[in-house]
Amino acid sequence: MLTTRPRGTSDIIPGEVEVWQYLEREIRRICREYGYSEIRTPIFEHTELFLRGVGDTTDIVEKEMYTFIDRGERSITLRPEGTASAVRAYLEDKLYAGPHPVKLYYIGPMFRYDRPQAGRFRQFHQFGVEVFGSHDPSVDAEVMAMAMDFYSRLGLKDLALHINSVGCPTCRPALRQKLQEFFRPRLGDLCPNCRERFEKNPLRIIDCKEGRCREAGAGAPTTIDCLCSDCSSHFEAVKKHLDLISLPYQVDSCLVRGLDYYTHTAFEIMAKDIGAQSSIGGGGRYNKLVETCNGPPTPGIGYALGMERIILAMKNQRCPVPGISGPDVFVVTAGKAAASEAFRLLFKIRGAGISADKDYQDRSLKAQMKYAGKNGAKFVVIIGDEELAQGTVLIRDMSAKEQVGISSDQVVGYLLDQ
């Protein structure tokens, strides 16, 4: 073999890609119903966008970004997440000049240098939504409800919505001070990553998954303990709106998310039995991110769902996926003289908008029929020497196991009527 695919990537081949296509159809359907428009951004951006937008104290920026210098001596980064790119597009393409809120969604590959594990890759795919221009707590409830609605439509069950408020620049300094006072005598008990976070971003310590850090953080001040009046009232209003639509949730005071731009609401959706990490998506508010990227003061909120993680959860829960459909029609020939007529008829059928295929391996009639059945063809058009001489074909209904003989000029009309 000349080469193999890079570690942490995957091929999505026939038999698997149909599940992805199903997901993408459902994504576009729910986004249309909720009033979101699609945006497509480049898979690479100037590195500064992620340094400023994602935050230089995050694991993504410090350890996981694919960054390189291009031929113009510019620092370029393969996008590790979608929100910063959406913000850049919102500003550069002047979406802020139109009606608000601006509701966007995206589907595409992201790139992070991380340890590959179940449902997690170095090139992975996300479906995400972003809402710019509203601080209304009902929008927070809507994006969470939309994510849960999407999972429900896929047939996923036993999911848990965890929510928290991570505060804002007004109340965050008090939390930072309290956390540093709490963890200073416990620094020796923390993992190396959290010892680094102590000065840069102590809030991330309470979100660490290491067992020793969780033990050391027992009883640590939480974000909710330090919320200002605005953050507290906003969080209560978010919970009220979730209650109005009877959407169950759990308040998780240790939930802070891994990105620096979050303010106010943060949330994650958890599923069981999908590997070391149970999150299959999450998001939150980022009311200062547009300003950080040199835009006007603009509140924002969004989420991203990992598509590989969703597919893994669907497999584990045996969620039904619409069957893979074969061609509507398969054209079978008996004898070489019929091959030219079969080729002509094949394109006539396709021209009417009917999916059709034929044999290209010079198989026997029996083998062609078997191949057509194996590939799920609904009808088989049979042309032999006798049919060719008479200007007719045989059409076999593969499910009813019945066949009729008709003029070759009537084939398309017959098939359209079925």
Asked if residue 20 lies in contact with residue 12, where contact means CB atoms within 8 angstroms, the answer is yes
The pLDDT assigned to 73 comes to 95
pLDDT of 153 strictly over 70: yes
Which comes out higher in pLDDT, residue 22 or 338?
22
Question: What does the pLDDT look like over 64-115, one tens digit per residue?
Answer: 888 999 999 999 999 999 999 999 999 999 999 999 999 999 999 999 997 7
pLDDT at res. 144 = 97
DSSP string, 97-114: GSSSSEEEEEEEEEE---
Name 49's Cβ contacts closer than 8 Å, sequence gap at least 6: 77, 84, 85, 88, 293
Residue range 337-348: mean pLDDT, rounded = 89
CA pair distance 74, 60, nearest whole angstrom = 20
pLDDT tens for each residue of 260-312: 678 899 999 998 766 555 888 999 999 999 998 999 999 999 999 999 999 99
pLDDT at 259 over 70: no
CATH numbers and ranges of domains, the chain: 17-171+227-316 (3.30.930.10), 329-417 (3.40.50.800)
Region 152-161: mean pLDDT is 94
What is the pLDDT at residue 186?
84
Average pLDDT, rounded, for the chain: 89
Q: Distance (Å, rounded) from C-alpha 215 to C-alpha 404?
A: 75
Shortest CA distance to 203 belongs to which of 174, 235, 160, 229?
Answer: 174
pLDDT at 348: 93
Residues 6+ apart with CB under 8 A from 237: 137, 138
What's the confidence (pLDDT) of residue 275?
55
